[in-house]
Chains A and B, each alone.
Chain A
Amino acid sequence: MRSLWRLAAVLAMAVPSGMVAQADTATQRVARRIVTAQDSALEAATTMLASELRCPVCQGNSIQDSPSELALQMRDLIRDQLRAGKTPDEVRAYFVDKYGEWILLSPRATGLNLVVYLVPLAAVLVGGLVVWRTVKRWTGPSSAGPADQVHPGA
């Protein structure tokens, strides 16, 4: 009988401490999830920015795609700046400040840079117009006038 009382006392002490331990684990799990989500968001933002910036020691590669040491350190710097609270625009501006517009793989669509975006569009429009006019001439009534037609019975 006395051993049963002892067992009950041990259980009574063990259950609340077990519950506290479970609660702690749950809090830790939630905290871990939050940290993991934050890390994932940070990684996603780092990857996005690193994909937009040109690797200075490569041929046309982004910092994200380059395996070079400098690109790796630039990725670290992007991550650190974002973690420190800088916005993606501020990080981009930092690199432009150091390396010039050249560092951006896609030039900004302002000023003289607009040429890069508008010339291909203009070329497509002019090319399309030329093709349309040519096709129209080939298929139009003037290209097959009565004088050009050959009558089998003639």
Chain B
Amino acid sequence: MNWKRAFIAVALLVPVIALLAYGTTRDPKTIVSPLPGKPAPDFSLAVFAPGEGELAKSIGDTARMAEHRGNVVVLNFWASWCLQCRDEHVDLSNTAKAYYDRGVRFYGLLYNDQPAFGLKWIEEMGGQAYPSLLDPRTRTAIDYGLYGVPETFIVTGDGRVAYKHIGPISERLLSQKIDSLLREGSGTP
């Protein structure tokens, strides 16, 4: 009788303990995005910060996701009030310049911020190599399932979201992801 009781107790407790143990291996703040692998949501947004040199676009010009078929596109959501955005700023600009000739295009998207503050921030940071776009009412950010800033999306030449990064991204990681897509033949060099 005691063996039977012990068996029932173990049979009930083991799954509960296993479930709790599995829970401790998971970070509740990590939320898996359903976007990678899916088509990148289209947008049509106005440029408010032009970028520099050959990467520049005119202020007020409209940038569309659909016009970049064949290019690997990097979208970085940022804001002037976002402290972590400062950590990745130089890395993003450097990578944008390094991969421009290989057909990779970068865009910044201002998230919940005023364009004047965004322009001032870019000036304080010593410039931004690539153009930045306005996202009125955060519609594009919601379309991309944004949780906060900074967040970076890498889109393949055939318009699929290949990678989503939450938090500041490094030049090394960006290069690694872009290289891997270019090797696979995504994007026209």
Q: Nearest residue in A to B112 (C-beta to C-beta)?
A: A69
Task: Give the secondary structure class of A's interface.
Answer: helix
Q: A97–B161 Cα gap in the complex (Å)? A: 13
CA distance A126 to B15 in the complex (A): 15
Q: Is the CB of B142 within 8 A of A73?
A: yes
**Chain A binder among B32-40, B68-76, B114-122, B180-188:** B32-40
A100 nearest CB neighbor, chain B only: B34
Q: A76 at interface (Cβ–Cβ under 8 A)?
A: yes
Q: Roughly how many angstroms separate A77 CA and B140 CA in the complex, as a whole number?
A: 11
Nearest Cβ on chain B to A139's Cβ, whole angstroms: 20
Interface size on A, residues (CB 8 A): 15
List the B residue with the shortest CB-CB distance to A55. B147
Partner-B contacts on A (CB < 8 A): 56-57, 69-70, 73-74, 76-77, 96-100, 102, 126
Does A100 lie within 8 Å of B32, measured CB to CB?
yes
With contacts A73-B137, A100-B31 taken as known, whether A126 is within 8 angstroms of B145 at the C-beta atoms is no
A76 pairs with B34, CB closer than 8 A: no
In the complex, are the beta carbons of B138 and A70 less than 8 A apart? Answer: yes
Q: Which of B134-174 contact A (CB under 8 A)?
A: 137-139, 141-148
**A97 contacts which chain B residues (CB < 8 A)?**
34
Known: A56-B147, A57-B147, A99-B145. A76 touches B32 (CB 8 A): no
With A100-B33, A102-B31 already in contact, the answer to whether A77 and B139 are too (CB < 8 A) is yes
Q: Is the CB of B148 within 8 A of A57?
A: yes
Q: Does B12 contact A (CB under 8 A)?
A: yes
Contact check, A74 vs B142: say whether CB atoms are below 8 A apart: yes
User: 23 pairs across A/B with beta carbons < 8 Å?
Assistant: A56-B146, A56-B147, A56-B148, A57-B147, A57-B148, A69-B112, A69-B138, A70-B141, A70-B142, A73-B138, A73-B139, A76-B137, A77-B139, A96-B34, A97-B34, A98-B142, A98-B143, A99-B31, A99-B33, A100-B33, A100-B34, A102-B31, A126-B12
- A69 contact set on B, CB distance < 8 A: 112, 138
Chain B residue contacts of A76, Cβ below 8 A: 137
Tell me whether A98 and B34 are in contact (CB under 8 A): yes
Q: Return chain B residues, CB-CB under 8 Å to A98.
A: 34-35, 142-145
